[in-house]
Structure 1
Amino acid sequence: MIRAALLLVLSATPLVAQSDTAAAARAAAAQLEAATVQLDRASGARDRIRALTDTVRAYEAGLSAMRDGLRDAAIRETEINDTLRSREDEVAQLLGVLQGIGRTSGPETLLHPAGPLGTARAGMLLSSVTPGLAMQAAELRDDLQEVRTLRQLQQEAVRTLQLGLAGVQQARTELSQALAARTELPLRFTEDPVRTAILISATETLEGFASGLSEITTDDSTSELPPIEARKGALPLPVNGQILRRAGEADAAGVERPGIVVTTLPRALVTTPSAATIRYRGPLLDYGLVTILEPQADLLFVLAGLDTVFGEIGEVLPAGAPVGLMGGTETETGDILSTIGERAGNTRTETLYIEVRQGDAPVDPLTWFSTDKG
């Protein structure tokens, strides 16, 4: 009887719309499905490297949105369940009132010991109470419906996540193969590996290495890259991520550096923010794998902390060309769906150090790059 009364009142309220968290997760699933279609089309694209680069970025955006959406959905479900548990007594009272109303027969509601006036007053009192009861029942129904929606969403997301993780891995593999087979890029100069090795062995600081680069390379071509001064402050970051430390901010060890640190997802793709020449790529000091790009004379973009680097020294890259991948291991589906893991941890486990040098001095990278995160 209690459940029947509850269902009667709840069914009288309209269905709730999807929660924002559920809508966000479904939108992320649509992004991943679109990226899968994009991967199929990339195989026949004229500029396959560009197509695969865009595909990897599409997968990264979709997977990031899916992680955030499912994390928020899991947190929201937990919050609702906690609220319902804390309101058990209130819900029981509500059900009791609804049950009492449901047992009251029609003729009895027309009689009152005080006569017709009392009956009228009782009717007015009941009519004023009923909307409040209906509102409480509607709120309860909305919460229960949202829990069902969130659970269904998480179940549906498992396959989408698995396909997305497999798809981005395939796209990265195909991109690496296409980059290895690339031969059409122009060369501004040819590296002298002996002089480069001597410079590295004699270098104690990034500043010293950057200054020495101009001395060990000589341009073999007169081709010039398009000027980028007009784009100063509007260049995209080389990787999808969030700023962890700004220029001059000390790290946990108290070390201050003139560049910024960007946190990224594992295996994130790193691209050149503008057309640029690869001045150096490889290990350097304690920075790990480093790529140094020269978009114009006396301007260097230093990207440090990569796990894989693409391209050859001296190559001239177009804007948005891949230069490397971050390290780490792609998050498994089970970890993504784990409420505890997602609430307590950070999925952006990798860090890219970005330094910009003009002339012989470092400048704040955010004077060149645009970002609304951090």
Structure 2
Amino acid sequence: MITGAAKRTHKGQPEHTGWLCLRASLLAAGLLVAGSVCAQMAETPDPAPQGVTEQQAPAQPDPTADLALKRDSTRSELEALSKTITLSNDRAAQLQAGIDDLEKTSESLRAAIVGSADKRKALEQQILDGEDKLTTLRTKEDAVHASLRARRGVLAEVLAALQRMGRNPPPALLVTPEDALASVRSAILLGAVVPGIRHETENLAADLKALAGVRRDITAQKQALGDDMTARLEEERRMNMLIAEKQKLKQRSATELASERRKAEQLAAQATSLEGLIGSIETQIASARDAAAAAKAEEENRRAMSDAQRAEARELANSTTPDKNRIAPAYAFSDLQKKLALPVAGSILRRFGDADGTGHSLQGMMLETNAGALVTAPSDGWIVFAGAFRSYGQMIILNPGDGYHVVLSGLEGVTVQQGQFVVAGEPLGTMGNKRVASATALALETERPTLYIEFRKDGKPVDSRPWWTAADTGKARNDS
């Protein structure tokens, strides 16, 4: 006799009301997770190559190589995104109006250019950091997909169990005595199976929730990168306008500049070393010779000061903002240790003393940058050379005084001229779209643009690490 706690189905089979609810909820949850998991798996192709059987053990992935591939994929994605970003006519007109409102003096224009350069470099660093974050999120996304692929067998078992339960429901628990043994057996089976099914269903649902969260983060990060790229494009346009205005104030004639540029190119073609190039430039090019003389005069003036006067000058320099229109370095270069910012937004690939790929030690440092990255003066100084030299690409040599020279090479374009005095942070040029032929035959692991930096003291290379700020010194790329 069937009690009121049970009922008969349309086929006459008794079913317990509680069991109906439990089975319905498990089936609904299982089917929901199954549908979501299958949809997610369909979006990601199985990486296993054709012809590989289940018995064959897959090769262990190389984390370093996988990260490098993920980074390259992210960069390609961002490069494609950057090509879609344009500057509206209205925004360009607003930038031009802002330039027109500026006071057209050398001091105001230089201050505006340095400020623009600071903002542009900060945006370029934000883009680099955002690129790393996007790569990390892509790696997390792959990890969740791998977890879901690994649970294919579990998912099949969950669905099979639910399907079996649906086809063969256990008898009601409150039935006639002849069904008691079957009821007890069903209760034992449900007690053993249902918690496991619920646990696996919850795990699968958690994976799906994590995947949805990662994808939301990826979308937000891509939007932030797009905004940064747009802001960088605007700042690049503004800086070009400012530089064009500043060029109009130059007093040296175009004929004089062209003549000196040709002479510098001839000297560069004849020189066999950096030391030889610097020596010939500073003796045979009038503007470079004047710059070297000004640097030496400034150095002699500092040497003529007493210790007390030098200390007073350092204290004054540290307590006030240097005049942007200065015509000599605000600080002695030897006093600038731990105070210089890297001239470009990027990550350090090699340092002074590392192997250079030819069996020798590197005499400078190499930075990996984004395409078109802005290069600025690391310190005040005079430009003694700006042009192409051997396999160094476009190169700039800065004389900051105190017997030092700062060499920057690997640029695609330069915006300064020989003999020009620049202040720290003033734009010098831009990087290209890929690495130029290496000046030191480095066997680098990248084809991206790289800037080579070399400090020289009295003609000899020295380690530049003591001059960079602590934050910049730590910007080594970690591929592990």
Q: What TM-score comes out, normalization by structure 1 length?
A: 0.69
CA distance in 2: counterparts of 1:309 and 1:3, whole angstroms: 68
Which of the numbers 302, 307, 310 marks the counterpart of 2:407?
302
Code of the residue aligned with 1:180 in structure 2: it is: A
The answer to whether the aligner puts 1:371 opposite 2:473 as a matched pair is yes
Q: What aligned pairs does 1:115-194 form with structure 2 within 5 A after superposition?
A: 130=195, 136-155=200-219, 161-182=225-246, 193=260
SS at match of 1:139: helix
Q: Could you say which residue in structure 1 is the equivalent of 2:114?
A: 50
CA distance in 2: counterparts of 1:328 and 1:211, whole angstroms: 32
Contact 2:118 2:425 (C-alpha < 8 Å) held by counterparts:
no
* Residue-by-residue CA offset, 1:193-242 (whole Å, 9 max, x unaligned): 27645532431111211233443403468645412333324422211222
Code of the residue aligned with 1:243 in structure 2: it is: I
Contact 1:266 1:348 (C-alpha < 8 Å) held by counterparts:
no
Q: What aligned pairs does 1:204-243 form with structure 2 within 5 A after superposition?
A: 204-216=272-284, 217-218=289-290, 219=293, 223-243=328-348
Contact 1:9 1:134 (C-alpha < 8 Å) held by counterparts:
no
The gaps in structure 2 that reach 5 residues or longer are: 1-23, 35-73, 75-81, 103-107, 299-327, 435-444
* Residue-by-residue CA offset, 1:255-299 (whole Å, 9 max, x unaligned): 654111211111111111222222211111221100111222311
The answer to whether the aligner puts 1:268 opposite 2:373 as a matched pair is yes
Deviation for aligned residue 1:95:
5.4
CA distance in 2: counterparts of 1:348 and 1:72, whole angstroms: 21
Code of the residue aligned with 1:371 in structure 2: it is: T
- The RMSD of aligned alpha carbons is 4.5
Q: What aligned pairs does 1:343-354 form with structure 2 within 5 A after superposition?
A: 349-354=448-453
Q: Could you say which residue in structure 1 is the equivalent of 2:12?
A: none
The answer to whether the aligner puts 1:362 opposite 2:446 as a matched pair is no
Contact 1:302 1:355 (C-alpha < 8 Å) held by counterparts:
yes
Code of the residue aligned with 2:143 in structure 1: it is: E
SS at match of 2:385: strand
Which of the numbers 115, 119, 123 marks the counterpart of 1:59?
123
The answer to whether the aligner puts 1:290 opposite 2:354 as a matched pair is no
CA distance in 2: counterparts of 1:286 and 1:163, whole angstroms: 36
CA distance in 2: counterparts of 1:6 and 1:231, whole angstroms: 66
* Residue-by-residue CA offset, 1:35-71 (whole Å, 9 max, x unaligned): x9xx989947864323321332233123223322222
Deviation for aligned residue 1:359:
0.9
Code of the residue aligned with 2:277 in structure 1: it is: F
Contact 1:5 1:95 (C-alpha < 8 Å) held by counterparts:
no
* Residue-by-residue CA offset, 1:164-202 (whole Å, 9 max, x unaligned): 434423322331231232267999xx9882764553243
CA distance in 2: counterparts of 1:9 and 1:151, whole angstroms: 18
Code of the residue aligned with 1:203 in structure 2: it is: A
Contact 1:185 1:316 (C-alpha < 8 Å) held by counterparts:
no
CA distance in 1: counterparts of 2:267 and 2:397, whole angstroms: 15
Q: What aligned pairs does 1:318-337 form with structure 2 within 5 A after superposition?
A: 318-328=423-433
SS at match of 2:390: coil
Deviation for aligned residue 1:86:
1.6
The answer to whether the aligner puts 1:4 opposite 2:66 as a matched pair is no
CA distance in 2: counterparts of 1:177 and 1:319, whole angstroms: 20
Deviation for aligned residue 1:252:
4.4
Code of the residue aligned with 2:205 in structure 1: it is: R
Contact 1:186 1:315 (C-alpha < 8 Å) held by counterparts:
no
Q: Percent identity?
A: 27
Q: What TM-score comes out, normalization by structure 2 length?
A: 0.56
Q: Could you say which residue in structure 2 is the equivalent of 1:333?
A: none
CA distance in 1: counterparts of 2:418 and 2:333, whole angstroms: 21
Q: Could you say which residue in structure 2 is the equivalent of 1:93?
A: 157
Q: Which of 1 and 2 has greater Rg?
A: 2
The answer to whether the aligner puts 1:315 opposite 2:420 as a matched pair is yes
Deviation for aligned residue 1:154:
4.2
CA pair 48-83 structure 1, distance change in 2 beyond 3 A: same
SS at match of 2:379: coil
CA pair 153-316 structure 1, distance change in 2 beyond 3 A: same
CA pair 150-264 structure 1, distance change in 2 beyond 3 A: same
Contact 1:179 1:311 (C-alpha < 8 Å) held by counterparts:
no
SS at match of 2:246: coil
SS at match of 1:258: coil
* Residue-by-residue CA offset, 1:70-95 (whole Å, 9 max, x unaligned): 22222322221122112111233345
Contact 2:385 2:397 (C-alpha < 8 Å) held by counterparts:
yes
Code of the residue aligned with 1:238 in structure 2: it is: P
CA pair 224-152 structure 1, distance change in 2 beyond 3 A: closer
The answer to whether the aligner puts 1:245 opposite 2:322 as a matched pair is no
